[in-house]
A and B are shown apart, each in its own frame.
Chain A
């Protein structure tokens, strides 16, 4: 079945995520962060941040809810049983801290087919409550044998 390129350019409704202090700590511990900026309020405040600082890769937490509708969109038509995460790129702006409200918008950047595999590229743009872009992401998924 050929891939459906009609979805290229499709944008999904933005999804908001309120960054919680304990969520930042939980994530930081799970990935093995030892930098006190992510774990201790006093250290973060002493360094000039309002609250604990989210590790850069915390982007997956606040942007994932915005990516799900694209992953499950029948028009995109991804077969999960044959999907692998091919690649990932993030570009960061100002750091995210607990208390921030992040709004992420997902766009289907590209859909293509090469050698019988489907390539699905999603782009995410995450903006904080001040309108600053905190992270742009490029999510590359490969579906084998489309």
Chain B
């Protein structure tokens, strides 16, 4: 990895029931994620993605780029707006620095042209492998 390199983008479209599976897997059953009627009542367009699910997609793009889960040492993100099921998420990242086996990646996640995760910063420990 060299400064300016882009990591392989990750695109995923969470299906209609993803938020239910993620709620079960994560333990976060906030009804804004799983109950369409409740979401409408509190002024949302519908059920929204868990921010930490979207962050997990950002993390996955980093571990894919770094060669595995052991490569990711730190990830920091800001959440903006909300993610929706059945709309594509695209994670991108650009290498800011790469020194002494550690790369810092500026990263984020977009949906429908909106940056729903911004100011992401990942630290990857690089192995000797390409």
Chain A residues proximal to chain B, CB less than 8 Å: 23, 26-27, 29-33, 35, 37-38, 53-57, 60-61, 64-65, 81, 84-92, 95, 138
Contact partner of A88 (CB less than 8 A), chosen from B18, B25, B76, is B76
Q: Which residues of B contact A31 (CB under 8 A)?
A: 22, 25, 53, 56-57, 60
Contact B60 A55 (CB under 8 A): yes
A33–B52 Cα gap in the complex (Å)?
14
Interface centre among B42, B56, B73 (most CB of A within 10 A): B56
Residue of B nearest to A89 (CB): B76
A85–B68 Cα gap in the complex (Å)?
27
- Judged by a CB distance under 8 angstroms, whether B85 is at the interface is no
Other 13 A-B pairs with CB < 8 A, given A60-B26, A64-B28 = A27-B26, A35-B68, A35-B69, A37-B68, A56-B59, A57-B55, A64-B26, A85-B79, A87-B78, A89-B76, A90-B74, A90-B76, A138-B76
Chain B residues proximal to chain A, CB less than 8 Å: 12, 18, 21-22, 24-28, 42, 51-53, 55-57, 59-60, 63-64, 68-70, 72-79
Q: Which residues of B contact A95 (CB under 8 A)?
A: 69-70
Q: Which residues of B contact A57 (CB under 8 A)?
A: 52, 55-56, 59
- 8 closest Cβ pairs, A-B complex: A30-B25, A89-B76, A57-B56, A31-B56, A87-B78, A27-B25, A91-B74, A85-B51
At the interface, is chain B mostly helix, strand, loop or mixed? helix
Q: Which residues of B contact A38 (CB under 8 A)?
A: 69
Can you report 16 A-B residue pairs in the complex whose CB atoms are below 8 A from each other? Answer: A27-B25, A29-B25, A30-B24, A31-B25, A31-B57, A31-B60, A35-B68, A54-B69, A60-B26, A64-B26, A87-B79, A88-B51, A88-B52, A88-B77, A90-B75, A92-B72
